Each structure stands twice: as C-alpha cells, then as structure tokens.
Amino acid sequence: MSFLNPSFLWALFAMAIPVIIHLINFRKPKVVYFSNTSFIEDIKKETRTKTKLKQILILIARMLTIAMLVFVFAGPFIPNNEKANDQPSDLSIIYIDNSFSMDADAAKGKVFDQAKQIAKDLVYSASPSMNYVFMSNDCNSDYRATLNRDQVITSIDDCSISANSLKVNDLIAKANVYARNGESASLYMISDMQKYMFEGLETELDSNVNFVMLSLNPMKVNNLYVDTCWFDSPVHRVGQNERLTVRIANKSSEGFYDIPLQLYINDSLKAMTSFNVEAGESVDVDVDYQNTTAGNVAARLEISDYPIVYDNILYFSYAISDNTKILAINAGDESRYLVALFGNDEANFRFSQVKLGHESDVNVNDYDLVVLNSVSEISSGLADRLKTFVNGGGSVCLIPGSTVNYASLNSFLDLFALGKLDGTSVSNVKLYGIDYQSSLFRNVFAKEEKQGSLPNMELTHKMTLFSKASFSPVLTLENSNPVLVAGDYGNGKLYVFTAPIDKVNADFAKSVVFSPALYNMAMNSQLVISLYATINTETVVPTRMENYEIGNTYTIYDHKGETSLVDVRYNSGVLNVFMPGTTKEAGVYGLCANSDTVSYLAINYSRNESMQDYLSEEELEDMNTQEFSGRASIFRFDSMERTLSDFKEISEGKSLWKYFVLLALLFILCEILIIKFMR
C-alpha cells in the first residue's frame, strides 16, 4: 500500500490526544467522606478490572478512529502492477489529441468535447497541489510551462481542433524531458488512437513516467477524399498539353459512382471529369488540359463529400516556364550536334556556350543543364562548383574527349561516388542495351529497338561503377561496358557518357538514341519542386527562385489579402519559406519579394486524419507488449457515464480511502456501543 499524500501521516501523532484524556480520567481518585452510606447500598458494584477494560476499549476505538481519518487524507492506494513505479506522481502530463479526426461524432456528442471533459475531471480528481503540463498538437507556451490547477483548466478550455498532428514518438520524447529530474510523472494520452500516430516509434519510455492511454470511440462515417496528385512531365511549357493524375481514396463501406472532379486554374474552372471508386479502394483519375500562359499557377482540385469536408479540396501550384537554359562548356570546337539540337529551338531552349577555362565568366546557377563537351580534364575549382550546382538541383552531362586525363576525370567522378574510368578504351563494339524504364527513354520508342538498328561504337572508355553507387547504366555495349550512366545526386542529376561525341563516333551521334537522351536530359533538368506542402507544427514550403537577392523582405498573403512576414533560406535555386505558426488554413498563398509576387505556395491538411484507421483494444494491447513491455495502462472510454474512478484505478492504482472512511465510522460506532452497553 502507498499514499498519494504521505505527509499527512504526521497527523498520526494526534492519536496521543485520547491517550492523554485517558490518563487524566485514570488519576488516583480523591477520597470523599460521607456521613451516611445508606444512599449507595443498593447500587450494583462494579469490579475494578471491568472498569479498566471498558476505558481501554474506548481508548483503542478513539485512537483507531483518528488513525483511519489520517489515512483517508493521506490518500491510500494499492499501486497498479503495470505502473513504472509505485510512487505517487509529482507531475501530470495531459495530452489531448485535437486533430481533425477528433471532431467526429460519438455515441453522445463530439469526441473532442468528451476528451476535454475527461481531462478536466482528471484534474479535479487529483490533489489541488498537483503540477501539470498540458499538450496538444499545437506548439504553444503550455508545452514549456508547469501549470497549476486553474491554469491547466484554462488551457483545456482554450484548446480547439487543429490541422496539426503529433506522433506518439514525439509525445513520449517531450514527456521524458519532464521526468529527467528524477520526479515521477504520469502521462495521460486522450485520443482516438489512429494507427499513423504510432508509426516510427523509437523513443523509449522513461522509467519515471507512468503512461496511460485513454482510447475514445468515434463513429466511423463514409469519407471520400482527394489524396494527392502529380504530373506526367516535370517541365511545364506554354501551349503544352498537361496530364495531371489525381488519386481519390474511398474510406467507406460503399462505392461511389459518376462523382464529378473539378480542376481550377487561377480560380477559373479549367477541366472537369468524373470517376468511379469502389468501397475501401483508391482510383487514379487523369485530367487533361493545356497551358495557355506562362508564369506562376495557383490550382486546386475539388470534389463534393459530406460530412468530412476538409479533405475535399487539394491545393497545388507550379510554374510555367518559357524555356530551359543550357550551358555548353567546350574543351575544343563547338559541337554541331548540340547546336543542332538546342541552338535552333529557341521556343524551348536558351542555349549558351563558353570555352573551357572561361567558365568563371558565367554563373552556372543561372542554368538548368551544364554540358561538359569533349573535355579531357576538369579543374578542381570547376569540379567543386559543379558538385554544388548538382547538389542544389542542377543537372550536369559529362562528354569526354577521345583522349582524356583519367586521373582528373576520376577525381571528378569521386566527388559523386559514381565509379572510375579504368584507364583503357575499347574499339568497334556494338551498342547493345537500352534501359527503357529510364526517364531518358521512357515513352520514346513505340517498340523496343532491335540490335541491328543500333550503331557500332568506334571508341569507348572502360568504366567500372561502384557497387554502392546510386547510378546505373542507361546504354551499354555488348561487353556490358556502360556508354551512358545516369543517377541522382542531392537535388540534381548527373549524366556521364563514356564515349566521345565527335567524328570518331559520328554514327552514335546520328543514332535514334543520342538525340532523345540529350533532349530528355534538358527537359528533366529543371528543378522539380513539390506541388504542395502539408501543414504541420513547422511548415516549410520550397519554391524555385532564380533571382534571389540578399536583403529582400519576403511576405505571404492569403485569399483574403492578409499579409504576414516570413523567414526564408536560399540554397542553389531553391527558396525554403518557413510559414508562420499562425498559418493553419489550407490554400494557395502568394509569396512577395519587396511587394512583388514572385511565386505561389500551396499547403494542404494532412490526409492522415482522413483514413479513420483506429487501433482496436487488442492492437493497443499488442502495442503495449511490444513497444512498452506492458508498462502502459490502456483504458477504453465507452460513455460519459463511466466513472472516473475506473480510469484512476488504472492510472494510479486501486484507491482505498473509501474503505478507511468506513473503518473510521465503524470504530465510532464501536465506541458508542461500548459506552452504552458495557456496564
């Protein structure tokens, strides 16, 4: 047995009071002389022993009554065996899940309203001197402050539904911080226990933390929502026919048919289609339309569904560019193949050339693709610049010369952990393999090219790829030596030919594979930015920024015209915008640099809340066994009629104060009976 308020046990010294009274009553009697004893002759005589026994029994009853009352105020309880320790908590950490799913209906009222009432009942049932930490899915000052009873009640009342969500891993990490000073803490998690909340659970529960999970029971309803979207092509041009793929998810027990899906571009209805989706399934819907003007695009996809409406709209944004900017750094003469492919297509490309050694005269960050043409060596300064360029989102294509400095080129390849040139070359070997799943050749050919239509390679430098490299061959010879290697590095891409593109390999330069490969390198070289970001406690939205200037003041504005200052971080063409903590509404926001709109930023609510995928009581028990070694206490709240005492018994242990009150009353009754009937 333990006590919630053991300091009250000092009051046991009050048991000395009836002892003192007893000793006073048992003082040696004073002799009184009577002149006549005839008046007491008829009184029944009591023995001295019986009188002493009666007084002792009364004394014991009074002392036990006082002891029982002291135990009542000390808060006796039998500790729960599943608790981390048997000590009373010094701190109560109360977490209320205020995500969108908590706004659902339960058997009686809203789930979120029940959660707040449970939290307040928990506070009122504890000691008035208890300290609290209040947590929700929003980052606020309450996370960092210890509160008293009145303050935590105010925080609970002020809590409202939020677009943010919090993983259990983060919740436990925060709770452990408060228990590191050696104090015992109780963590109360009041939630509907969606499965995604328990993903990535790595943080161990501190030995001083008693974890209590109170699971609520929302009513499942049919929900149809727009999950995500993506484009077939990463590049967007004026006049280009776009294909946007939209994923619709159906989290319900019935199918939906002929449901309209609407696409709005800059607040104008651009396209409309319909879809069918079976119960519990997802469907990908294609929306086709054409880009008509260049610039930034604010877009949204809409469906109609009730009663869950926050996920019926998906916002996204992108930029329609005029052309792709390509820089060729030539070690020798200008390549007529590159000029023919890019220089004569001003509608799609802005092609520039510079002599190797004069590349410092241009800023490579102003380009999407840099082609190193017929180079035999690369200086360390240029190599470092190109590594930074690729890491920041640019693309580089290396085309070697017929004779090369293998040590210099290998030093460049080492920067990307790609592989090495073996220092030898092979001659007159047929081009044999094409990776048709590569982005360079996907959807290029109506059918796979036969070996007979592929050219002989007159000169190819031998290359060995590192086993752990993130690069793979796209074109290979009959002897498996790679001709073209491609892969991602950082935010950008690196392409390496092992064959020179000059007179010695003229047939290859004129083949059906060379031009599509170079063309798709250019088309895929533009920095791909996510179409939207998801609202969380620290929402960061990346956007492409070509003309970044230090000292600019950046602000955002919403559809109401309200503006807010934002912090930004720039890195190699990408501007990361840190949305203000007050930004809680999904939508497309305009980004201004010194009052001029430079981009659009789309943010959406997390779709985790749309899945309505809750852990059952059995799954929670399994989670407790596997992740918390059975130390957590699990309580499923069925209705508001359930008494808080059941919850307290799981969280704190079995309370005994009621039994001690009954014992105190019993001893008082015993005293009365002894006085009245023991003659």
Same fold, 324-523 and 533-604: no
Q: Which residues contact 395 (CB under 8 A, 6 or more apart)?
A: 368, 369, 370, 492, 493, 494, 495, 521, 524, 525
Distance CA 617, CA 621 (A): 6
List the domain boundaries for the chain: 2-34+45-78+658-677, 91-219+614-652, 324-523, 533-604
Give me the CATH topology for the region 324-523. Answer: Rossmann fold (3.40.50)
Neighbours of 484 (CB within 10 A): 24
Distance CA 391, CA 383 (A): 12
The predicted-structure confidence for 203-251, as pLDDT tens digits, reads as follows 888 888 888 888 888 888 889 999 999 998 877 888 888 999 999 999 9
φ, ψ at 180 (rounded to 5°): -80, -10
Copy the structure tokens of residue 593. Answer: 């640099």
Mean predicted confidence (pLDDT) in 298-311? 92
Distance CA 512, CA 510 (A): 7
Q: What pLDDT, on the 0 to 100 scale, is given for residue 30?
A: 63
Q: What pLDDT, on the 0 to 100 scale, is given for residue 584?
A: 82
The predicted-structure confidence for 572-618, as pLDDT tens digits, reads as follows 678 889 988 778 899 999 999 988 898 999 999 999 888 888 998 88
Which is more confidently placed, 312 or 347? 312
Copy the structure tokens of residue 422. Answer: 């073996």
Cβ 289 vs Cβ 263: under 8 Å: yes
Nearest to 178 by CA among 93, 116, 304: 93
Which is more confidently placed, 601 or 50? 601
Of 132-141, 298-307, 329-338, the range with the highest mean pLDDT is 298-307
The predicted-structure confidence for 621-646, as pLDDT tens digits, reads as follows 998 888 888 888 888 776 544 545 55
Q: What pLDDT, on the 0 to 100 scale, is given for residue 409?
A: 95
Q: What pLDDT, on the 0 to 100 scale, is given for residue 463?
A: 94
Segment among 216-220, 241-245, 281-285, 425-429 with least mean pLDDT = 216-220
Q: What pLDDT, on the 0 to 100 scale, is given for residue 142?
A: 47
Distance CA 201, CA 193 (A): 14
Q: What pLDDT, on the 0 to 100 scale, is given for residue 83?
A: 47
Mean predicted confidence (pLDDT) in 458-479? 89
Cβ 532 vs Cβ 313: under 8 Å: no
Q: Which residues contact 102 (CB under 8 A, 6 or more apart)?
A: 110, 111, 112, 115, 161, 191, 192, 216, 218
Across the chain, mean pLDDT equals 85
Q: What pLDDT, on the 0 to 100 scale, is given for residue 640?
A: 46
Nearest to 189 by CA among 134, 124, 140: 134
Segment among 158-167, 214-223, 448-457 with least mean pLDDT = 448-457
- For residue 342, what is the DSSP state? I
Mean predicted confidence (pLDDT) in 163-191? 85
Distance CA 100, CA 93 (A): 22
Q: What pLDDT, on the 0 to 100 scale, is given for residue 638?
A: 62
By DSSP bridging, strand 185-191 and strand 209-215 are parallel
Mean predicted confidence (pLDDT) in 54-65? 87
Cis peptide before 542 (omega within 30 of 0): no
Q: Which residues contact 113 (CB under 8 A, 6 or more apart)?
A: none
pTM for the full model? 0.73
Give all strands (DSSP E) within 466-586, no chain letters.
471-477, 482-489, 492-497, 533-534, 540-544, 554-557, 563-565, 567-571, 574-578
Q: What pLDDT, on the 0 to 100 scale, is given for residue 416?
A: 93
Q: What pLDDT, on the 0 to 100 scale, is given for residue 312?
A: 95
Per-residue pLDDT band for 152 (boundaries 50, 70, 90) equals very high
Q: What pLDDT, on the 0 to 100 scale, is given for residue 347?
A: 77
Asked if pLDDT for residue 436 goes beyond 90, the answer is no
Mean predicted confidence (pLDDT) in 260-276? 95
The helix or strand, by DSSP H or E, that contains position 391, with its residue range, turns out to be: helix 380-391
Distance CA 590, CA 554 (A): 10
Asked if pLDDT for residue 297 goes beyond 80, the answer is yes
The predicted-structure confidence for 502-552, as pLDDT tens digits, reads as follows 888 888 988 888 999 999 898 888 777 889 999 886 788 888 776 777 888
Q: What pLDDT, on the 0 to 100 scale, is given for residue 141?
A: 44
Architecture of domain 91-219+614-652: 3-Layer(aba) Sandwich (3.40)
The predicted-structure confidence for 387-401, as pLDDT tens digits, reads as follows 988 988 889 999 999
Architecture of domain 533-604: Sandwich (2.60)
Per-residue pLDDT band for 144 (boundaries 50, 70, 90) equals low
- For residue 169, what is the DSSP state? H
Q: What pLDDT, on the 0 to 100 scale, is given for residue 25?
A: 66
**Helix boundaries (H) for 284-360:** 336-338
Distance CA 583, CA 524 (A): 33
Alpha-carbon dihedral sign for residues 360, 364, 366, 372: positive
Q: What pLDDT, on the 0 to 100 scale, is given for residue 84?
A: 46
Residue 230, classified by CB atoms within 10 Å of its CB into exposed (0-12), middle (13-18) or buried (19+), is: middle
Which is more confidently placed, 652 or 138? 138
Of 253-267, 359-373, 527-541, the range with the highest mean pLDDT is 253-267
- Strands of the 654-655 sheet, one edge to the other: 2-3, 76-78, 654-655
Neighbours of 224 (CB within 10 A): 21
Per-residue pLDDT band for 467 (boundaries 50, 70, 90) equals confident
Amino acid at residue number 322? D
Per-residue pLDDT band for 202 (boundaries 50, 70, 90) equals confident
Cβ 305 vs Cβ 225: under 8 Å: yes
Distance CA 101, CA 677 (A): 66
Asked if pLDDT for residue 386 goes beyond 90, the answer is yes
% of the chain surpassing 70 pLDDT: 89
Cβ 423 vs Cβ 395: under 8 Å: no
Asked if pLDDT for residue 143 goes beyond 60, the answer is no
Distance CA 240, CA 288 (A): 11
Amino acid at residue number 493? K
Q: What pLDDT, on the 0 to 100 scale, is given for residue 267?
A: 92
Distance CA 544, CA 393 (A): 10
Q: What pLDDT, on the 0 to 100 scale, is given for residue 36?
A: 61
Asked if pLDDT for residue 85 goes beyond 60, the answer is no
Q: Which residues contact 201 (CB under 8 A, 6 or more apart)?
A: 167, 168, 169, 627
φ, ψ at 571 (rounded to 5°): -150, 105
